[in-house]
Amino acid sequence: MFRAPRGSHATVVRDGEFELNDSRLRQVRADDDVRVLSVTFERHGFRAADARDAVLGFLAGPPDGGGPEPPVRVVEAAQLVVSELVTNAIKYGSGAMELSLVLAEGTLSVTVRDGGTTLPRLWSADPRRVGRHGLEIVAALSRDVEVRREPAGKRVTARIPLEEPVRAGSRADRSGARPVPR
């Protein structure tokens, strides 16, 4: 079951559904090897801090202690990845948005969907550039990043490995999944 982090408020709506700081969460547990959390939110009523809280609660695992907690570096990477993706969705997306977390097969997959039609672009590293570093940060912390156009907007997915170290400077394009340029 989802555990709300300290300082946030989660309310059980019905079995498997929660409200976290006024946004709807749905946690599905397919089996002991897969955990899924889905948060649907409105752009103007949700903050990146709420998304980070959802990640903490999700990665804390079930209250009965079933399953190990991921390493601290994975939790920190996941919080930063979620923060960047949700911030971009709030700033540049449209309509309702969805944050999905899937913990399976040694990987944490973070997906953010929104109704915006402009696809994010991975810029070349440039320390003099002000802004537009979000996807660059996400790519550095992830095994791969995938951007897809959907019938009602776009979807950005980052996959964070639980076992191998997250390497600063890793690139999203080394696995073949590439952000699509605008």
Q: Pick 110 or 25 by higher pLDDT.
A: 110
Strand bridging mode 153-161 / 17-20: unpaired
**CA distances for 128 relative to 84, 120, 131, angstroms:** 19, 20, 9
Domain ranges, ordered by start, for the chain = 10-172
Q: Which of 134, 93, 111 shows the shortest CA–CA distance to 54?
A: 111
Q: For residue range 132-166, what is the model confidence (pLDDT) as tens digits? A: 778 889 999 999 999 999 999 999 999 999 886 55
Q: Does the pTM exceed 0.85?
A: no
CATH (one of 3.40.1190.20, 3.40.50.2300, 3.40.430.10, 3.30.565.10) for 10-172: 3.30.565.10
The 10s digit of each residue's pLDDT in 23-66 is 455 554 545 578 888 888 777 777 888 889 888 888 886 555 55
Q: 82, 69, 73, 80: which is closest to 112 by C-alpha?
A: 82
Mean pLDDT of the chain: 75
